[in-house]
Structure 1
Amino acid sequence: MQNSVVPREGSQNNATVARLRESTTWQQEFRPLVIGNVNIGFPVVQAALSGYSDLPMRTIARRLGASYSVCEVMLDQFLLALNKRQKTKHFLDIHPEEHPVGGQLMGAEPEQFSQGAMKLVDAGFDIIDVNFGCPVKKVLGRCRGGFHLSQPEVAIDILQRTRDMVPDTIPVTVKMRRGIDDTNESRDAFFQILDGALNAGLAAATVHGRTVVQRYVGPSRWEFLADVKSHVGDRMKILGSGDLFSADDCLRMMRQTGIDGVTVARGAIGNPWIFSQAIALANGEPLPDPPSLHQQAAVLIDHFELCEESYGETRAPLLMRKFGIKYSQSHPDHENVRLGFARIKSRDDFDTVLEKYYGDNGPGRHVPRECHGSQEE
């Protein structure tokens, strides 16, 4: 693999991010997030995102201020089918910069589920997260994800077996939606499962303010999160999810509901700056300016190189298309940039898009190193 001439250490505004991380002003209003024995710190983290939150995306989020991230969901059957040679593939890879990092698991059968959780433990994930929130029809039809909210006994059995199987030093958490639908029966089932999670010894629950039936339609009911936090008190950490598309959204959710933290999902795809922006706002600083084209390009280059390291030179450009499309939303000529990224087939194609849309002689791998040294602020 050819190395980019852009030094990673200088391409992430890491002096600014380090300064924000070192400040403790935000602790005057928000408590540091601790899950079990894992000290997360700033309570705005990256959620698990199916098809997106792989090693490259998680690493970029960490470099830009995320204090914790969760790997895209893994199916228990898939994990149990991996042999020793396959286990070295990218699915379970963790970058040295990532820790703490969570592994998320989805499945149907309690015994198989707990065995799959141990695969994530063996891979080195610091926290194991159980997915009871996925609203995709194919997942529900196979009695996985959000389907478990309709069968509290099975859901609690999964949580108990997983907690019993996973070593005590590894926290177990659960991701839920506020119910299958808006009926009283669904609400009762939600709190039955939540109480079961508490009794099983789970350290935290992430709650999405929509129902499974809603999927992503309609507003997320943040007031439900306040009810959940009131219900558990200090016995369990509660993180919120849903309609978090800006740094201000993240802080407002915590202020309005009293929850312990938030997990940014779709709002972080192509927008890893949301984490450093949230830290800045929490520290009482003005909202940082949007990333310049030069800063956007530098992050894109780092993301591409991480893809090359994870997937190889041939696959990386194809996988980078979907990320480039999301990053293009921060560009003033986003429609043309989106089309450009959608067509890339090679590293040269990627560089061409950068050179064309991100400034004169944009910061691609062919630009002299010294051209990238003035972007810290």
Structure 2
Amino acid sequence: MASNLPTLRIGPITLDFPVVQAALSGYSDSPMRTIARRMGASYSLCEVMLDQFLVAYKERKRTSHYLHISDEEHPVAGQLMGAEPEQFGPAALKLVEAGFDVIDINFGCPVKKVLGRCRGGFHLSQPDVALEIVERVRDAVPAEIPVTLKMRRGIDDTAESREMFFKIFDGAYERGVVAVTVHGRTVMQRYIGPSRWDFLRELKQHAGDRVILGSGDLFTAQSCLDMMAYTGVDGVTVARGAIGNPWIFSQARALARGEALPDPPSLLEQRDVIAEHYRLAEELYGADRCLPTMRKFAIKYSQLHPQQLEVRQDFCSVKQAGAWREVLDRWYASDAPGVHPTIDEPAPVMAGEVA
């Protein structure tokens, strides 16, 4: 049964479903992206990479995972962040050469260390530099490679910040960007407080036919559909809500077909996905090096287990390569119903509400 939602276009690329996996620093590597695609995400973005790193990049065993793309991931975007405009073009070309289908420029990261180095969300405070970066990337990569942008709704909620946002937003499309993802929080908010979906609604009305993806407070399949229905955005990117819960994509597809929300995955279904995620990570990083990366995911996967605190503790105690299999044998050996993860996040702010 087909989705009741329209397809999503990223330049020449047509996606069959408008719910995609966002770029997630420290998370959205090739194994996570592969699992997300298998579970229903129509598209994904890699964890953000620095221009300086890419310009100097020489493939070595310890760094090869950054540019690894599995055959089943396409289309997939490479996300780029940096400070100096002149480095963005050569860095973007490295991503194209690695096989990424789309180049996404990050003007949204709110992390203090990033802002202090004049990267990410800092560029929302300097429209001329931001638009120079867009021009350099668009000029550097082949015409058939779409260029997209990630933004927040501004540095803060001042009138000056709003003016700078719209100068960058409109200017980016004029310079060849085909889609912009906008997070409903400001840079200064980071991840504190609610996301303002009203801003996304206003922005889509302003943008008209230009493609916008919404971001912020998407922790359930229903919230993905709610954001599109309320704001009118063309698609949504699921970030933190997809860590350890790739089922959010198949659940969103079911809701879009008019079906009831599927039950959370059973323990055996969880076991299969966790085991495959670990297998892909071991294949990419090696049995020892994958442990720190997979520990972060396992903590999130444990939230779908009815005994999540005990399962989380066991996953965190894994210190030896392959010992995670003992955790699966202990907690996922027999089938039982899973649970939907607890959402401990503020609700988005919509018309008539006060933050």
Question: Which of structures 1 and 2 has the larger relative contact order (alpha carbons within 8 angstroms, sep 6+)?
Answer: 1
Matched AA of 1:219 = P
Q: Who is 2:127 aligned against?
A: 152
C-alpha contact (below 8 Å) 1:247/1:277 kept by paired residues: yes
Whole-Å separation in 2 of the counterparts to 1:277 and 1:361: 20
Whole-Å separation in 1 of the counterparts to 2:246 and 2:170: 34
CA offset digits 1:176-228 (Å, max 9, x no partner): 00000000110110000011101101000000000000001111001111111
Tell me the CA shift for residue 79 of structure 1.
0.6
Specify which of 91, 104, 112 is matched with residue 87 of structure 2: 112
Q: Who is 2:271 aligned against?
A: 297
Q: Is the aligned partner of 1:138 residue 2:113? A: yes
C-alpha contact (below 8 Å) 1:45/1:66 kept by paired residues: yes
Within 5 Å, give how 1:1-377 maps onto structure 2. Answer: 23-26=1-4, 30-85=5-60, 89-234=64-209, 236-360=210-334
Whole-Å separation in 2 of the counterparts to 1:212 and 1:241: 13
Tell me the CA shift for residue 84 of structure 1.
4.7
CA offset digits 1:310-335 (Å, max 9, x no partner): 10112123321111001001111111
Tell me the CA shift for residue 346 of structure 1.
3.1
Whole-Å separation in 2 of the counterparts to 1:287 and 1:46: 19
Whole-Å separation in 2 of the counterparts to 1:61 and 1:297: 16
Tell me the CA shift for residue 87 of structure 1.
9.7
Whole-Å separation in 1 of the counterparts to 2:199 and 2:211: 15
Matched AA of 2:305 = H
Whole-Å separation in 2 of the counterparts to 1:208 and 1:233: 18
Q: Who is 2:348 aligned against?
A: none
Matched AA of 2:302 = S
Distance 1:188 1:349, change over 3 A: same
Identity %: 65
C-alpha contact (below 8 Å) 1:321/1:343 kept by paired residues: no
Matched AA of 2:95 = L
- Secondary structure at the residue paired with 2:323? helix
Q: CA RMSD in A?
A: 1.4
Tell me the CA shift for residue 343 of structure 1.
1.4
Tell me the CA shift for residue 361 of structure 1.
9.9
Tell me the CA shift for residue 114 of structure 1.
1.5
TM-score with structure 2 setting the length: 0.92
Matched AA of 1:302 = E
- Secondary structure at the residue paired with 2:47? coil
C-alpha contact (below 8 Å) 1:36/1:171 kept by paired residues: yes
C-alpha contact (below 8 Å) 2:3/2:253 kept by paired residues: no
Whole-Å separation in 2 of the counterparts to 1:361 and 1:173: 43
Tell me the CA shift for residue 50 of structure 1.
0.2
Unaligned residue ranges in structure 2 (runs of 5+): 337-355
C-alpha contact (below 8 Å) 1:318/1:345 kept by paired residues: no
CA offset digits 1:329-351 (Å, max 9, x no partner): 11111111111111112344211
* Structure that is richer in helix per residue: 1
Matched AA of 1:281 = L
C-alpha contact (below 8 Å) 1:318/1:344 kept by paired residues: no
C-alpha contact (below 8 Å) 1:355/1:361 kept by paired residues: no
Whole-Å separation in 2 of the counterparts to 1:295 and 1:266: 21
Whole-Å separation in 1 of the counterparts to 2:327 and 2:232: 44
Matched AA of 1:82 = Y
